[in-house]
Chains A and B, each alone.
Chain A
């Protein structure tokens, strides 16, 4: 029941996941072994959450007995899940830290393609923010310092003009579609 006050514990985050704009999983971590133990249940849950949240940018939702805070950027959706009793602002601080850290290592290109190209950095960032459900760090500056990772600066010579155009088009497309 959610009328009881939360048990004092450091285990704050139940799950974290990043989905693309079709609801496909790009990264997800579940920290409570009792919550959706099988991959199938996890993916159904992600699908449900995505269906309920991708249309409106509402920041917070309550689904299947979980508090979910979320944020979207171009073609990416970031989710942090906690129990119904959890302090929503704590979850928010995790989400903000995740988003700001990623935004920094991806040089503000928080979109699917760039994220996938720097997947190792993304894994490391998540690892530095949450450890087994415990908030390890909530200050993006600290996270960046610990991860010490930065996406390649693509000198223009290396990237063909066509590619630049293509990626610009993508970004415009998604900003219009939203």
Chain B
């Protein structure tokens, strides 16, 4: 019988914690009785419990005191009290990282793990493996192998799980136990089966063939353990994903058959696996959806939650597949578990019709304050998706969002709301004023600097173009008075934009800016002074260049150029045109609408793709002196996907040259390629200057070779050219297993697909936030206009897409979106031509039979205008 704690503890009254006032030093003092003979199991047990309890509470033990206690504890192995021994194992595991020389207990543990007492064997193995390091592992290898195939399930399970833990430490040793694990996998015990499967997969996961074999074996023979089934489903779906196996594969059939398993856990795992597969058709989804539908009415909250969460995911891609469950989901919107209710409503918002929106919104607002921030974000994202689907509902949504904005909530939540409102404003011009009003109200009391600056920027952009710009000034100027430096600076910039756009507001804005020049912060004062001076000039071109459309250069590039400039002092002023342009902002992927695991990674300012190329190319001596990299294209595939060699090309454009980077991969494991170059035959007056070979291309290790081309400088309009490409190399056959090449090789070549250079390769996308201002700034000195008929194009959308793709320019003012049911549209495009000249294109499109297009081009350089028009025609 195990007796409890000291009398004192018990007397302190019920409801109290016997461990409450434990002092580490006092407990360690008590641990001295471990050394008394005979051992008093009851007291020792109690002290060990106290030690573990303290460790669990986060009490810090110094190395010396821990080691001392640990060594004293080893004496307790002399006692045969079962619980005491088990607590010793726990203490060993807890102290393995704190105490020194824990390996002292190795022999005691080895004895227990091979002994007669089955109760000791499993836990002893787990404790032993916890303290064993790589060097010691060899010594216990024999015992581990025996333990894995032991007929006592707890021993076998313990050995398998411990082996899995040790794979991280010494993969090579554990790999030798694969046969034993294989044997254990056919055990009758469900947990042994599960653990063996887990270990086997972990050892073989890099060998696709072995995994396939393993799957075949187990899917045929069948398993007893539901856990093992879940594991098999995951392995199968991962393999399907990797091999891009079609849904007629036996693996898919296996997963589908699991939908009929009698265990709910397996059924759910299978349904979830099917839902997560990419490119599932509605028909393949149907059986999965119908089991999830059944789960929706389960009495178990966890099962309802799992089902509705998965349905929510289906609804994102295949809303129609979920409509069948609408009734069941309706029943869940009043679920007492608010997470379930929220997920049900957001799913319904995606699948339901426009008419149900009002009702659902009312329902959700009744408990939105009760749910966690994670789910509030889900709600906001659902609303955001809804607004795109039913633009007419924006006023309901806007009201709801503004109420949410007023509630308490964390940064992620507020940011989701602000983003959502901003996207509504951009989609729906009618909602602009209400949206801006809500945002103005929000920044009156906003603790998040990032959001406040973002909103101020938006106000500066949109505010001046509203019918009543003056009403925003008050909100903005309040920020200057009340907020932190970053917000004040943003407010000053926003004010300046109002002054630049609205002549009648200009005098008042100047007065306000004058006040900002007295600010205590440098940045705020600088901005105010700068804008003040620009505005006083009252010139539209200046306003456009310095207030509306800021710098479009790449920031890391600018930093590098300035650094270079200061290193080499010269009389010449710094030329902004030598700075590489920022690659056009790729529109952010809409985050998926699901309770997303909020990533904790700090958002780093990653160097853009182009900055990386710039670095790489600058490192090659042949390419020095080409000037800054102007543009890098997207990779173009020059081979079919499944060929011996895979080659893709990236086109790098410089001021007077182009560099073609060929990324080659050798997919033959019995060949080593050397001195790989790509020979290019141009169709026009382009001159091949130099080839940089890839020295060696072993099996499946990508390498790059480069070809440098000089652009014809006598004819600036020759912008397009076709190259026929041939890859030439030296082949050395080699042993597929060792990779050891033969001594001799032979020359060979491989014909690649033709590579085209088009006008888009010479133009970099630049976003002009205020196209009108930029249009005026460039002026009509070199303006040309021409009209074309696009006979083959049937819709405006298609025409807009074609033009953007062809010219490779940035659409501005959201003019790439053609409003529905219109038969004319104006597209604004902006870019910078190689050499640093701004190019602006205005294309008026009219839909009749086919599309008629009137193109107006403006640029600072006449040649550029000609090039564009020539290439369009």
Contact = CB atoms under 8 A, between A and B. Distances in A.
Given A1-B596, A9-B198, A163-B14, A58 B301 contact: yes
Contacts of B16: 113
A150 B235 CA distance: 40
Given A9-B202, A39-B58, A132-B165, A83 B53 contact: no
Interface string A1-38: 11111111110000000000000010111000000000
B287 to A, nearest CB: 18
Chain A interface secondary structure, helix, strand, loop or mixed? Answer: mixed
B18 A2 contact: no
A45 to B, nearest CB: 12
Nearest to A27: B56
B241 interface: yes
Contact of B14 (A89, A121, A146, A166): A166
A102 interface: no
A113 B15 contact: yes
A108 interface: no
A100 interface: no
Contacts of A127: 90, 93, 123
Contacts of A10: 161, 164, 194-195, 198-199, 202, 231
Interface in A29-69: 29, 39, 42-43, 52, 56, 58-66, 69
Interface in B690-748: none
Nearest to A153: B1
Given A62-B595, A167-B14, A52 B264 contact: no
Contact of A63 (B201, B241, B305, B372): B372
B302 interface: yes
Interface string B594-606: 1111100000000
Interface residues of B, number: 82
A5 B57 contact: no
Given A58-B339, A137-B191, A5 B234 contact: yes
B22 to A, nearest CB: 12
Interface stretch (B269-277, B557-565, B677-685, B781-789): B269-277
Contacts of B306: 87-89
Given A62-B372, A120-B49, A28 B56 contact: yes
B168 to A, nearest CB: 11
Interface string B294-332: 000000111101100000010000000000000000000
B158 A136 contact: yes
Given A87-B268, A152-B2, A116 B19 contact: yes
A92 B372 CA distance: 21
A87 B14 contact: no
Range of interface residues on A (Cβ < 8 Å): 35 or more
Contacts of A119: 19, 49, 53
B109 interface: no
Contacts of B402: none
A85 to B, nearest CB: 8
B608 to A, nearest CB: 22
Contact of A62 (B93, B277, B336, B339): B339
A8 to B, nearest CB: 4
B154 interface: yes
B90 A124 contact: yes
A3 B276 contact: yes
A133 B231 CA distance: 15
Contacts of B264: 89
Contact of A146 (B13, B154, B230, B372): B154
Interface in B52-89: 52-53, 56-58, 82-83, 86-87
Contacts of B157: 136-137
A172 interface: no
Among A2, A28, A39, A166, chain B packs the most CB atoms within 10 A around the CB of: A2
Interface string B115-134: 00001001100100000000
A61 B201 contact: no
B473 to A, nearest CB: 41
A136 B276 CA distance: 28
Given A43-B58, A89-B306, A136-B191, A65 B230 contact: no
Contacts of B171: none
Contacts of A149: 2, 83
Contacts of A142: 154, 191
A108 B442 CA distance: 53
B3 interface: yes
B510 to A, nearest CB: 49
Nearest to B600: A65
B238 A7 contact: yes
A73 interface: no
Given A9-B198, A27-B56, A62-B339, A120 B87 contact: yes
B56 A3 contact: no
A123 B90 contact: yes
A101 interface: no
A155 B3 CA distance: 13
Contacts of A113: 14-16
Nearest to A34: B600
A60 B337 contact: yes
A134 B14 CA distance: 36
Nearest to B597: A65
B411 interface: no
A117 B2 CA distance: 11
Given A56-B337, A131-B161, A132-B161, 10 more contacts: A1-B597, A87-B265, A117-B18, A119-B49, A123-B49, A123-B90, A124-B83, A127-B90, A142-B154, A152-B4
23 contacts: A1-B592, A2-B596, A4-B276, A8-B201, A10-B161, A42-B58, A52-B372, A59-B305, A61-B339, A65-B596, A87-B268, A89-B265, A89-B303, A113-B15, A116-B19, A124-B86, A127-B123, A134-B195, A135-B194, A137-B154, A137-B157, A149-B2, A163-B14
Closest 7 CB pairs of A and B: A65-B597, A10-B198, A39-B58, A59-B301, A8-B234, A89-B265, A58-B337
Interface of A: 1-10, 25, 27-29, 39, 42-43, 52, 56, 58-66, 69, 83-84, 87-93, 112-113, 116-117, 119-121, 123-124, 127-128, 131-132, 134-138, 142, 146-149, 152, 163, 166-167, 170
